[in-house]
Amino acid sequence: MIHKNKQSMNIGQVWEKMVPKVLLSIAVISILTTIGILATLTVETIAFFREVPILDFFTGTKLKPLGANAEFGVLPLLTGTILSTIIAMFVAIPVGLMTAVYLSEYASDKVRRTLKPLLEVLAGIPTIVYGFFAYTFVTPILRTFIPGLDPTNILSPGLVMGIMIIPMVASLSEDAMSSVPSEMRQGAFALGATRLETTWRVVIPASISGIIASFVLAISRAIGETMIVTIASGSSKNFTFDITQSMQTMTAYIVEVTGGEAPAGSTLYYSLYAVAMTLFVFTLVMNLLAQYISRRFREEY
């Protein structure tokens, strides 16, 4: 019996020593994967800029990757990406924030436990389904009100992207509001404030860091969205601010090039990595901004 207890203790000690090493290995794999992705993007992007001047790439308004006189200006893709993101934010931020306010301040526990999971189901729908929804349902409806709307345009996928990221804004904002101590609410009520006044003058200011962080993360999610814009926004590389026209985003361009017949080592092939690096930097900056806002304006209770 004593021998078995000692054996069990030895096995337990071995596990205690192994677990930290296993967890460290998993963490190192994640870091090495990120480094590998960044290294690949960097090497191929440098190869692209050996053939195309970096200034021409970031200031060029024409993107014609095929043909003898190919041009590789990224501004048409940047414009499409930014416009689709702005449209999505016009949908996601007000609807998501109002939903979070209701769930946090007005809904009963039973209603909150029912509505929040249902809301988050939106986040589980495949983005390709959203893409076909935008192309086959939303666009025809919009064309009845906007006769000049192209069959593929940036407005429709922008609106649907906004619907898709509502759960992100609502869930993260609701979590931030729920973390505000109830004593602050009770103090506002004791001073004669209404529930609406308490929400806008106490709860939201106290949770503003989490709310803004949810906005920034939602913007990052919209910038990196692929299938919705690939299906519904078209592949026209127009440098325009007219949201009724067909445009292309950075992610849609990456899908087009990888799905085409770009010869390895060609300028078209390397342009894929230059655009991917630009997208990577965009997303990284947005995530760093969200972390900075969370740390800078966080309230400790």
Q: What is the rounded distance in angstroms from the CA atom of residue 281 to the CA atom of residue 214?
A: 19
| Four-way CATH pick for 71-296: 3.40.50.1100, 1.10.3720.10, 3.10.450.50, 1.10.287.610 | 1.10.3720.10
pLDDT in tens, 27-52: 888 888 888 888 888 888 998 888 88
Judged against a pLDDT cut of 70, whether residue 3 lies above it is answered with no
> 141: pLDDT confidence band, cut at 50, 70 and 90?
very high
The Cβ of residue 1 has, within 10 Å, a number of other Cβ atoms equal to 5
- The domain segmentation of the chain, as residue ranges, is 2-51, 71-296
- pTM, two decimal places: 0.85
The Cβ of residue 292 has, within 10 Å, a number of other Cβ atoms equal to 13
Q: What is the rounded distance in angstroms from the CA atom of residue 144 to the CA atom of residue 211?
A: 36
Q: What is the rounded distance in angstroms from the CA atom of residue 9 to the CA atom of residue 14?
A: 9
